[in-house]
A and B are shown apart, each in its own frame.
Chain A
Amino acid sequence: MAKAKEILANAVVLFLITAVVAALLAGANLLTKEKIAENSLLAEQKALAEVIKAETFEQTADLALLETVDPVTAAYYAKNGDATVGYCIKVTPSGYGGAMELVFGVDKDLNITGVSVLSHGETAGLGANITKETFRSQFVGKREIAGVAKSGAKENEIQALSGATISSKAMTSGANTALAAATFLANAPEVNMEKGAVK
């Protein structure tokens, strides 16, 4: 009898503790939900502005139609007023330490204007150097990238980071996916996320 009572008492205390913690978490969530969404929107806008110069960015709804080999997680039209000046493509190629999230800017002539690393799981000191300006600037101006070279990279190749060939290859593959997606967007009618209409 006493044992059953003890088990019950323990269960009740555990329930109370988890209930209080759950309530506090729900409260914290309510308090912060909107602010977090706001912050991530701002961060996204900032990341997009880093890779291409434009006034506004409009997200496209037509991801399924972007016939690329690797998936594109988001695509935006970069605009000055009503005119599209380029595109921002978010890709997630697999690096050495898992998927990395990159955003590429591509202008109307289908040259890469910039690349930003949003997140990655590469090794510090090795693959993590893909975030360095000196590595990323290699992508600017490229129209198609044949591959990665360990030394003596040609005009249409990327010089790999020493000791981080896999990370370099991943970023290059992301670049080619972005270029393919931008090519598609350039030749297709515009479909925006909010408006959902064809321009």
Chain B
Amino acid sequence: MKENKAVKTLTAGLIENNPTFVQLIGMCPTLAVTTSLQNGFMMGLAATAVLVASNVAISLLRKFIPDKIRIAAYVVVIAGFVTMIEMLLNAFMPALAESLGIFIPLIVVNCIILARAEAFASKNSVGLSALDGLGMGIGFTLALSLISSVRELLGAGTLWGVQILGAAYEPMLVFILAPGGFIVLGLLIAVIQLIRNKNAKKGGAA
């Protein structure tokens, strides 16, 4: 019984409750950083690390934080975490810090972190909260990677900077600009919805 709940928590964020395609949160960084696969993937990894850490911290403090000031408290904890991670990275892993660049401070304003703190970590145990953070983070990373793969491939002919489509392919620049972001996102949400509907039907029939 207990193991089932853990697995469910972990896998919810992948498709059924994917933060990007289903919950539609964290849209700003999603549209902004998915212009290349490397950017999207890195942002996803960094956000996942912060998600797990902040979910654990909020869950540990949940009995201590009064309901009326919870949002302010969450923001302070999250911003503190991200700043500490940024300092530690800059000091001890400068090469990684450079490739992540501005994505680290951008994570503070990522709604997903606050949303999961409010919707899950404040109401569940530390273990489950960590799993939720991990699942949501992986779901976010997958979503970002998927979107940026499409956008980079069609918009620049490359993937992770490596030329994939030949020189004969004239890149459709619209895909790496803002309108392209919305178009790709909308189409992928539709695809995910198709998959979810199929899963629901299967679950109902069985």
Contacts and interface: CB of A to CB of B under 8 A. Distances in A.
A interface: dominant SS: helix
Contacts of B197: none
Interface in A120-164: 123-126, 163
Nearest to B155: A125
Nearest to B68: A10
Interface stretch (A13-21, A52-60, A165-173, A190-198): A13-21
Nearest to B77: A21
A190 B98 CA distance: 34
Nearest to A43: B94
B84 A124 contact: no
A188 interface: no
A125 B39 CA distance: 12
Contacts of B72: 14
Interface string B172-196: 0100110000000000000000000
Interface string A1-16: 0000010011001100
Interface residues of A, number: 24
A161 to B, nearest CB: 12
Q: Of A25, A123, A125, which is in contact with the most chain B CB atoms at under 10 Å from its CB?
A: A125
A17 B39 contact: no
Contacts of A18: 76
B69 interface: yes
Interface string B33-45: 0011001000000
Contacts of A73: none
Contacts of B91: 31-32, 35-36, 39
A13 B65 contact: yes
A17 B65 contact: yes
Contact of A32 (B64, B90, B98): B90
Contacts of A123: 35, 176-177
B94 A125 contact: no
Contacts of B156: 124-125
A35 B88 CA distance: 9
B83 interface: yes
Interface string A59-81: 00000000000000000000000
Nearest to B84: A28
Interface string A24-47: 110011011001100100010000
Given A14-B73, A17-B76, A36-B90, A124 B65 contact: no
Contacts of A24: 80, 84
Given A13-B69, A21-B77, 7 more contacts: A13-B64, A13-B65, A25-B84, A28-B87, A35-B92, A39-B90, A123-B177
Interface of B: 35-36, 39, 61, 64-66, 68-69, 72-73, 76-77, 80, 83-84, 87-88, 90-92, 94, 98, 152, 155-156, 171, 173, 176-177
Closest 9 CB pairs of A and B: A32-B91, A21-B80, A35-B91, A124-B35, A125-B156, A125-B176, A39-B94, A28-B84, A32-B87
9 contacts: A13-B66, A17-B65, A25-B83, A28-B84, A28-B87, A31-B91, A36-B91, A125-B35, A125-B171
